[in-house]
Amino acid sequence: MISEYVSPQHYQLDLSGNMVMITIMKRLTFVLCIVLLSCNELPIGEGELGQRGDFAPQFLELNLFSTFTEYKNINTGNAANLVFGMNAEYESRVMLTFDFPDTTYEGLDEIRMILNINGKFNNDTVPFSLHLMGAEFNEYETDWTRRNLDDYWTTPGGDFSSDSIRYGIAQGDSVILYFNYIELEQIEAASGIIIVPRDTGFCYISSREGENPVRIILEKNETMIPAFVDADCHIINGPEPSLFDDWIGSGWVYRDFVRFNYDTLLDSTMAIYAELSFRCSEYFGNRDTLEVGVRQLLEPFSTFDTPTGPLIALKKIGVGDTIVTIDIVKHAEQLIEPPDSNFGFYITITPETYDISRVKIVRGSHRLNIGYIEPPEPR
């Protein structure tokens, strides 16, 4: 057998040759991958885009024209939650009517009303009293002062008997109130019942639009006969903002009207983003997070009910956040396209009937930064 002698020099040369081959193969593999896969996103040839326009981004901060707070005691007939509670500024009461089944109530073993407390809120322990109502109300029209669109309560906050039929304390997951025959007949005969808070704190229970609505259970011979709510809502009394307060709030609704001056630098440009920011100083509510929304006004501001468009931005914020930023590029687009449509927008808490909450915005802290480019030209 003949073996060939390989000198150390040759061996080194051979090794370095292999290294070169390996390097070349690695590069070829890379090029081959690029060619075959064709999936990289390198900005090669970006200068070619110059044929269709100048895409240098520009940034602009619009000047604030005005802000103020509009508020309204709105109806909560469609609210997902019912709130009863009070503090130094707010008071909320829950009104209910029931649809009792057509059955004889003789021989009932137990009559109980179940209020399911909504655990998504940081509920307080709230003492309350239950009263029979002396006047009917319209679930979708009533508020703190009116029982329907045409009639006012004799006493703001609802007309009800001063004597309660039951006292209770709302805490834990649910509240169960037991009644006797006489009280059941009184509830049936009344125009409804009202839950009135007796101490500070707020408690949230599910409405019939929510998950577990209030119900009365009639138990007879181990058979449960439910009586579901026929109408439910809560009525709220809240504070009026001062002239210099910028508030957003739900329940007792506050909307922050904001309008920025349009800048003609934006003419014929395309906004890529419009970042609205503002500072918050005080929070009130029973949740850890809130949803802040923005709606554009469709015509010049006149009242709280000035028509607005759909939500153009929605942002979840944490209670305690000091700075809120929201992308409202749709507002910037609206400003640029028909520039005479700068009617401003409302900042709101969304949905406005979900709970009772309020955020104070630091006056004058609103900023609107717009990033824009010249739009590409068509071929």
Partner 1 sequence: MAILLTFLINASIFSIGGVGEDLLVFESPFVERGRFARLGFTINPEYMLLSESGELRGVFWTNPLKMSLSVPLPKGFGVMVGNRERFNQCFDVYLEDSTLQIHAVGEGGIEEVFAGVSKRLGPIDFVATGSFLFGSAWEIWTHSIGAYSLVDTFSYRYRGRIFAVGLKHDLFSVAFESFGEVRKIYMPEDTTMIDLSERLLVGVHPRIDEWSFGLLYERSFWSGDEFNSPNRFKVSLDRGGTGFSYYFNPWYLNDVTEHGLSAVFSLPLRNIGSIDVEMDIALRNRDQLREFSVSPKLTFVLNELFALRRK
State the residues that interact with partner 1 by CB under 8 A: 31, 34-49, 51-52, 55-57, 270-273, 275, 327, 329, 371, 373, 375-376, 378-379
Tell me the sheet residues that pair with 70.
255
Q: Which is nearer to partner 1, 311 or 319 (by Cβ)?
A: 311
Closer residue to partner 1, CB minimum distance, 41 or 102: 41
CA–CA distances in Å: residue 40 to residues 29, 33, 356: 15, 10, 51
Using the 8-state DSSP alphabet, how is residue 45 labeled? T
Q: Cβ 272 to partner 1, closest distance in Å? A: 5
Instruction: Name the residue nearer to partner 1 (CB basis): 48 or 102.
Output: 48
Cis peptide preceding 351, ω within 30 of 0: yes
- CB of residue 184 vs partner 1: minimum separation in angstroms? 58
CB of 373 to partner 1, least distance (A): 6
Counting Cβ atoms within 10 Å, is residue 56 exposed (0-12), middle (13-18) or buried (19+)?
exposed
303-341 residues labelled b (16+ CB within 10 A) or e (exposed): eeebebeeebbebebebebeebebbbbbbbbbbbeeeee
- Return the structure tokens found at 325: 């930023």
Q: What is the 8-class DSSP label of residue 14? A: H
Closer residue to partner 1, CB minimum distance, 53 or 226: 53
Count Cβ atoms within 10 A of the Cβ of residue 275 and give its class: 0-12 exposed, 13-18 middle, 19 or more buried.
middle
Task: Say if CB 362 and CB 246 are below 8 A apart.
Answer: yes
Residue whose C-alpha is closest to residue 284's, from 315, 247, 313:
247
Closer to partner 1 by CB, 141 or 374: give it. 374
CB of 110 to partner 1, least distance (A): 57
DSSP code for 305:
T
- Comparison of 214 and 329: residue with beta carbon closer to partner 1: 329
For residues 184 and 105, the answer to whether their CB atoms sit within 8 Å is: yes
